[in-house]
Amino acid sequence: MRKIIILVSVLLLGVALMSYLYFSKLGIENDAKDLALQSATNNAALLFSFQNDKGFYEIIEGQNLLQQAIGKEKTDLLKQLKESFVNNKTINSLILDQEIYLSLLPDSNKTLNFLITIQVKPNQTALNFQNQLKPFLTPIAQEKNIYSAKVNDSLNIFVGVQHQVLTLSTSLKLIKDAGIRLKENPFTAYIKESRLQNKNVLAQLYINYNQAPLLLKNIISENINGELAVFNAQNSFATLNYNFSKEKILFNGNTEIKAADNYLKLFENIPVQNIEIQNVLPDQTANYTIYAYDNYQSWQKKLMSWQAQKKLTDKTTSLIKHIRSEYRTDLNAIFSVYLKNQFVTFQLNTGEKLTAISLSNGEKVKQLLFDVSEDYSDEIKHFKSSDILFSYLGEPMKNFVRPYYTIIDNYLIAANNASTIQSFLSRYRNNKLLIQEPEYLDAMNQLSSTSNIGYYINLKRSNNIFRSQMRPQYYKHLQADSGLKTFDTFYYQMSADQSKFLTNMLLNKYLKPQVPDSSSNR
């Protein structure tokens, strides 16, 4: 009996040892496969991924919209790199059918630059890989594993060669920053998990919002504040699949919010809503953000939890008590009862900012707010106390501290200047609305009519806003015929799907219908 126990123990020990060795080796092989991804994701906010095969290039060359989006200069650079490296038989034999990562990164002198990262085929040893590349590379003095390569008479690039990973860029800084790190970063881990769920797609765009501030600081000429302040602490990621089209640039996939105290978490795990509040927006609207939930009373519980996490509960409670004592008005009996299911913050082409809030009974709310408001005119009122809207709707209302407001057709419209409200009322009553614009309707037809969150930018009406915020080289690209000038709409749409948001990202250009030439019918 003792011999049998010893024999079984030895066999079990042997199996455990073999399993350990097998899975350890498998883990090392998987780590090796991910070295390129780890290198590509270092400090990257945007990562475009595609497979190095002939079919991909043929499809992309059939559409010039992506080329317009990144600009002529960067497009020409990528074409030259493809012709010199990808089309080279020796180099292409090392990277055929391999994943290519194109990272957009902040570079020196307030510029942005590309880093291309490729893992060579697994049947190539590191030594053989490097030996085959030697004829094309010139070592750079005092730089380990970094070389220069001549693309043409006017262009030299830097090349990093390390652990069967190839990195290319016109920036030496980016090559050095992309050195192999064996420790996985959160962005790498997120992409690896996403890739298991997304197969057989033409290309993918990964977004790391944690790195967005570094990117934005090189694009905008002022501090990241106002509407952009959300990017200062946006712990979230997105995986978006590219949908080929000759008419528009469309990606769809999902956005995942990691931070528990992120305001957008309040819209997770709730039904998508039919969006209607855009119907009230004037035709001057340059951008907006729409928020929608199913029922205010249940959503308010989430808001109160968020306020507790942000240590805002005492401030809100104190405000409600003060107004009840000072003005004999119970705010809970107004907003908790009559707020409907969606609201929007928006900015006009003049730069003025407003908000519109959907109400179930506008006339009743108008009466109940009488004591907590003072008259500016018969239609326009002014809150006597600060942060009323912030207390009941949270972060998007922080810029409307003590606004002027009006209530019309079951919408509360607020702004920081009475003249802005007057201008709004004039356009609204004269039916000068965003929903009547052909460009807007065309873009909305490409998207779902139901969602929870929507970010909209009218690129043409935002022209003056961009001019005041962006660095000259990026504003120039926005205005170039070969750049973004011919596009009119950007939209980022999020629809709750359990712990993630199904996401559509659209860059659209409206093509006016062709009017038949009447002379041809004669």
DSSP per-residue letters across 429-487: HTT-BGGG-HHHHHHHTTS-SEESEEEEEETTTTHHHHHHHB-HHHHHHHH-TTTTTT-
Identify the pLDDT of residue 223.
65
- Tokens representing 138 are 């010139």
Identify the pLDDT of residue 484.
87
Q: Which domain holds residue 89?
A: 34-219
Looking at mean pLDDT, say which of 93-107, 221-235, 431-445 comes out highest: 431-445
% the chain with pLDDT above 90: 51
pLDDT band, residue 464 (cuts 50/70/90): confident
**Can you tell me the distance from the alpha carbon of 349 to that of 495, in angstroms, rounded to the nearest whole number?**
27
Cβ atoms of 175 and 167 closer than 8 Å: yes
Identify the pLDDT of residue 76.
83
**Can you tell me the distance from the alpha carbon of 319 to that of 158, in angstroms, rounded to the nearest whole number?**
59
For the cut 90, the answer to whether the pLDDT of residue 30 exceeds it is no
Identify the pLDDT of residue 4.
41
DSSP letter assigned to residue 512: P
Q: For residues 118 and 187, state if they share a domain.
A: yes
Cβ atoms of 421 and 400 closer than 8 Å: no
Identify the pLDDT of residue 390.
98
Instruction: Tokens 């697994």: give the residue.
Output: 122
486 three-state secondary structure: coil
Identify the pLDDT of residue 232.
60
The pLDDT of 101-125, averaged and rounded, is: 85
**Domain edge (last residue) among 164, 198, 219:** 219
Q: For residues 157 and 85, state if they share a domain.
A: yes
List of long-range contacts for 85-90, beta carbons under 8 Å, 24+ apart: 85/168, 86/52, 88/136, 90/132, 90/136
Q: For residues 290 and 159, state if they share a domain.
A: no
Determine phi and psi for 118, rounding to 5 degrees. -140, 140
Q: Assess if residue 170 is contained within a domain.
A: yes
The pTM of the full predicted model, rounded to 2 decimals, is 0.88
Q: Assess if residue 233 is contained within a domain.
A: no
**Can you tell me the distance from the alpha carbon of 496 to that of 483, in angstroms, rounded to the nearest whole number?**
33
Q: Assess if residue 16 is contained within a domain.
A: no
For the cut 80, the answer to whether the pLDDT of residue 12 exceeds it is no
The pLDDT of 279-283, averaged and rounded, is: 98
| 286 vs 7, residue with greater confidence | 286
Task: Write the pLDDT tens digit of every residue in 123-165.
Answer: 776 667 777 877 888 888 888 888 888 888 788 889 888 878 8
Q: For residues 202 and 281, state if they share a domain.
A: no
Query: Quick one: three-class SS letters along 134-159?
Result: HHHCEECCCCCCEEEEEEECCEEEEE
Identify the pLDDT of residue 33.
62
Identify the pLDDT of residue 233.
60
User: Which residues contact residue 87 at a Cβ distance below 8 angstroms, ignoring those fewer than 6 apart?
Assistant: none
180 three-state secondary structure: coil
Determine phi and psi for 139, rounding to 5 degrees. -60, 145
For the cut 60, the answer to whether the pLDDT of residue 443 exceeds it is yes
**Domain edge (last residue) among 161, 194, 219:** 219
* N residues, the chain: 522
Identify the pLDDT of residue 2.
41
Identify the pLDDT of residue 13.
44
Cβ atoms of 47 and 40 closer than 8 Å: yes
The strand pair at 373-375 and 381-383 is best described as: antiparallel
Cβ atoms of 63 and 245 closer than 8 Å: yes
Q: For residues 267 and 411, state if they share a domain.
A: yes
Residue type, 409: D
**Domain edge (last residue) among 219, 245, 273:** 219
DSSP letter assigned to residue 225: -
For the cut 90, the answer to whether the pLDDT of residue 225 exceeds it is no
Q: Assess if residue 487 is contained within a domain.
A: yes
Looking at mean pLDDT, say which of 59-73, 421-435, 479-493 comes out highest: 421-435
Q: Assess if residue 252 is contained within a domain.
A: no
Cβ atoms of 280 and 504 closer than 8 Å: no
Task: Write the pLDDT tens digit of every residue in 384-436.
Answer: 999 999 999 999 999 999 999 999 999 999 999 999 999 999 999 999 999 99
For the cut 80, the answer to whether the pLDDT of residue 28 exceeds it is no
Q: For residues 441 and 356, state if they share a domain.
A: yes
Q: For residues 92 and 151, state if they share a domain.
A: yes
Q: For residues 214 and 281, state if they share a domain.
A: no
Rg (CA), the chain: 28
Q: For residues 487 and 345, state if they share a domain.
A: yes
DSSP letter assigned to residue 165: E
Q: For residues 179 and 57, state if they share a domain.
A: yes
pLDDT band, residue 94 (cuts 50/70/90): confident
| 320 vs 62, residue with greater confidence | 320
Cα angle: 290, vertex 302, 448; to 5 degrees: 30
Cβ atoms of 407 and 367 closer than 8 Å: no
Cβ atoms of 507 and 490 closer than 8 Å: yes
- Tokens representing 341 are 């299911």
The pLDDT of 330-355, averaged and rounded, is: 96
Q: For residues 214 and 277, state if they share a domain.
A: no
Average pLDDT, the chain: 86
Identify the pLDDT of residue 14.
43
Identify the pLDDT of residue 60.
78
Q: Assess if residue 480 is contained within a domain.
A: yes
pLDDT band, residue 282 (cuts 50/70/90): very high
Determine phi and psi for 105, rounding to 5 degrees. -135, 150
Q: For residues 300 and 438, state if they share a domain.
A: yes
Instruction: Tokens 């060795």: give the residue.
Output: 21
- Tokens representing 321 are 């008590």
Q: How many domains does the chain have?
A: 2
pLDDT band, residue 202 (cuts 50/70/90): confident
Cβ atoms of 43 and 179 closer than 8 Å: no
Q: Assess if residue 282 is contained within a domain.
A: yes
Identify the pLDDT of residue 336.
97
**Can you tell me the distance from the alpha carbon of 24 to that of 212, in angstroms, rounded to the nearest whole number?**
36
Q: Assess if residue 14 is contained within a domain.
A: no
Strand-pairing partners, residue 237, are 208, 256
pLDDT band, residue 66 (cuts 50/70/90): confident
**Can you tell me the distance from the alpha carbon of 318 to that of 85, in angstroms, rounded to the nearest whole number?**
66
